Amino acid sequence: MNSDSESFHYQLLSWVLADTATTFESSSVDRQEIDGVDNPLKQATTSTSGQPESGVKPQTFQLGEIPTVQERFQAVLKRRLQLQIQNQPPLFPWETQLLDYPDYADEQSLVLVPAWGWVAQQSKLNLPIALPESIFRQLLEKCQVLLTSSVPLGAKLVQVVEELFPNEGQALNDIAGLVLRSNYRSPETLEAMPNIQSEYIDLKQRQQMALSLLAAKQLLDNLTIPVSLTNPVVEREWLTSAGILKLKVEYQSQGQTLKLRVEGKLPTPGIFTLKGQGTRAVGQSASSGNLSVELHCQQFNQTYTLEVDFPEIEQQPLVFAINPTT
């Protein structure tokens, strides 16, 4: 596919994404026109209720009547409540008895648990705005499930995002076609990426579809590692909450034997599990640093999976698909 065709299709995709930005600006003008009036609701309220209605005599009280009694009652009630709280302090829902808490927490006792260990990779994607963490997580989990599926990439993209947009199969197929024809790594694509000021939740549905499909395509590309005898070494990186995971996959030929070797640089203690059909190799590191695993390839054109476990930051492993070809 030539560069002009890729540029044309990405311009179409950019137009889909940028439509919301225009809509957002026009709606801002409408709000400014409304905001030009100094709180019209307040003005209307003042004009209708600022003066007592004619014919209605305001209520008055004589000294010693109801207001004085109410003030006395409130003072007695307040004093009684204060005494009750002093004698029997209320407990928090998790307490069974009164506990003393320190005025400050020791910094060493503060342990920050990341919301999700793999989410930091989103900052490495070429998207005009960030996706909500829940959306990104759902897309990544679905990509993991479909990673080794044999369905075409376009259908795979639609399957990744279809749960977010039920009953929108045709629209998803149309936008997926634009995503497939665009090269998000090219300089032209990065320059043409629209500047969207809205949050994801404020976008129109077709903009959300385009962003979700773009993210899904990049995630599948990041998680798929194709190697061959002519291109035997491929590297990948994945940003985690503990730092960068670096992978180096080698497809080695030793006479009639083919071997698949994975070397990694871990930001935190972890486990590598390399799997094929009926074969597996496991490597474990108790600290950050280097780790490697390897398998002899018994069949040609077989897909292998690499599971990366980082127990200290995430319970679910991150799965890569390795596709060696001759």
The residues pairing with 273 across neighbouring beta strands, listed in sequence order, are: 282, 307
Phi, psi values for residue 80, rounded to 5°: -65, -40
Q: What are the tens digits of pLDDT across the range 221-247?
A: 999 999 999 999 999 999 999 999 999
Q: Which of 93-102, 146-155, 294-303, 306-315 has the lowest mean pLDDT?
A: 93-102
Tell me the Cα Rg of the chain.
Answer: 31
Which whole number is the average pLDDT over 70-99?
79
Classify residue 1 by burial, with Cβ atoms within 10 Å: 0-12, 13-18, 19+.
exposed
Indicate if the pLDDT at residue 108 is higher than 50. no
pLDDT in tens, 192-208: 566 677 899 999 999 99
Identify the pLDDT of residue 277.
86
pLDDT band (50, 70, 90) for residue 79: confident
How many whole angstroms separate alpha carbon 34 and alpha carbon 39? 9
Query: Over the chain, what is the mean pLDDT?
Result: 80
Q: Per-residue pLDDT tens for 157-213?
A: 999 999 999 999 999 999 999 999 887 665 555 555 666 778 999 999 999 999 999
Confidence of residue 31 (pLDDT cuts 50, 70, 90): very low
Mean per-residue pLDDT for 53-78?
Answer: 67
**pTM for the whole structure:** 0.67
